[in-house]
A = this chain, B = another copy of it.
Amino acid sequence: MTALRVGVIGTGLIGRDHLRRMATVLAGVSVVAVADVDAVAAARAAATVGAAVHRDGLDLVASGGVDAVLVCSWGGTHEEYVLAALAAGKPVFCEKPLATTPDACLRIVRAEVAHGGRLVQVGYMRRYDAAYRALKRTLDSGAVGAPLMMHCAHRNAGVPASYEPENTITDTAVHEIDMARWMFGSEIAAVRVLRPRASRNAGRLPDPMLLVLELANGMLVDVEISVNVRYGYDIRGEILGEDGTVALGDPGLISVRRSGQVAAPVPADWRDRFGAAYDVELREWVDAVTGGGVLTGPGSWDGYAASAVADAAVRALRTGERVTVTLAERPALYGPADRPAA
């Protein structure tokens, strides 16, 4: 049992968190190399885990001592590093987005197809959340019948001042976009954005809004996107099936009775809510890569499809129109186009 030797490109918030996770939480993996455009930041992060610092990401990817690569740098650089990893035949875990445009994602898809096997995983971590998995397990069990609709809410207490209108799609709603494709095993065929009057907390953002996804299998998925609700981080979802419904449970390790109320805490932010899912995500990726590894996580095609849908949704947001999503043909490498929901 030799540990998987991982190199990490990008030492921002998420990069450093993955460094910490691999060094101090997960068995069977060690971080051996770090790169960042900011050499000082790279050195500081590398020191915390005893890793070597590389001049740049491409150098890190090429290094003989690196078995697999984590790409945590700025989105605009993802394509280059992922393509490099594919060229080197190394497994690469790329934080979302896979790349910043559908075309760039498609270049990665084609490179992976040319390589002839899956090497790329994209960091859509909801697929690793225990509650979403229980939702999917229940759906797949047939207990609530075939799915017809899903109602979701994605609410952030707040977002950074740097948030642009389209980030409500590309950074926020994109999680439900990937989740819906995975949950129901069907591509998204068209999108629509409906907007009420904006919250006084909205600033210049389109907040809240209702994103409506039409799936190729005929389902409708509606998602309330709110990025300034203030009261907490609140992720909701209920699937309507032909024989019943299944929903994410309410928060609640504890309940407190005082001052005329019985109350359960709401998560403060995504770390509170999805922290454990990141551990599971990396755990399963390491196991898959180490185990000779059939990657089962979200791959290049998923990164491409999410990008194409988000692209359409941004247009829908801008125009107020229903926008259809047209995908390239799905390579055989990624399995049948409309998988059964399983």
Please report A residues at the B interface, Cβ cutoff 8 Å. 1, 22-29, 49-50, 130-131, 134-135, 138, 143-146, 148-149, 151, 153, 192, 194-201, 208, 210, 212, 214, 217-220, 222, 224, 226, 229-232, 234, 240, 242-266, 268, 276, 283
Contact = CB atoms under 8 A, between A and B. Distances in A.
A197 B153 CA distance: 22
Contact of A255 (B200, B232, B247): B247
The 5 closest A-B pairs by CB, nearest first: A197-B218, A244-B258, A249-B252, A263-B263, A196-B220
B217 A244 contact: no
A122 B143 CA distance: 41
A263 B149 CA distance: 20
A219 B232 contact: no
A232 B257 contact: yes
Contacts of A255: 246-247, 249
Contacts of A243: 230-231, 258
A261 B251 CA distance: 9
Contacts of A245: 229, 231, 256-258
A240 B253 contact: no
Given A24-B28, A196-B219, A135 B254 contact: yes
Nearest to A256: B246
Contacts of A131: 253-254
Contact of A260 (B145, B200, B210, B268): B268
7 contacts: A1-B23, A134-B254, A134-B265, A192-B194, A201-B242, A230-B243, A232-B257
Contact of A219 (B29, B197, B242, B265): B197
A71 B329 CA distance: 58
A133 B260 CA distance: 18
A68 B115 CA distance: 47
Contact of A249 (B149, B195, B264, B276): B264
A226 B24 CA distance: 39
A265 B261 contact: yes
A7 B25 CA distance: 20
A261 B249 CA distance: 14
Contact of A197 (B217, B246, B263): B217
A210 B222 contact: yes
B251 A144 contact: no
A56 to B, nearest CB: 26
A242 B246 CA distance: 28
A24 B138 CA distance: 28
Contacts of A50: 1
Contacts of A143: 256, 258
A25 B282 CA distance: 11
A137 to B, nearest CB: 9
A259 B231 contact: yes
A248 B254 contact: yes
Contacts of A134: 253-254, 265
A260 B253 contact: no
A249 B29 CA distance: 35
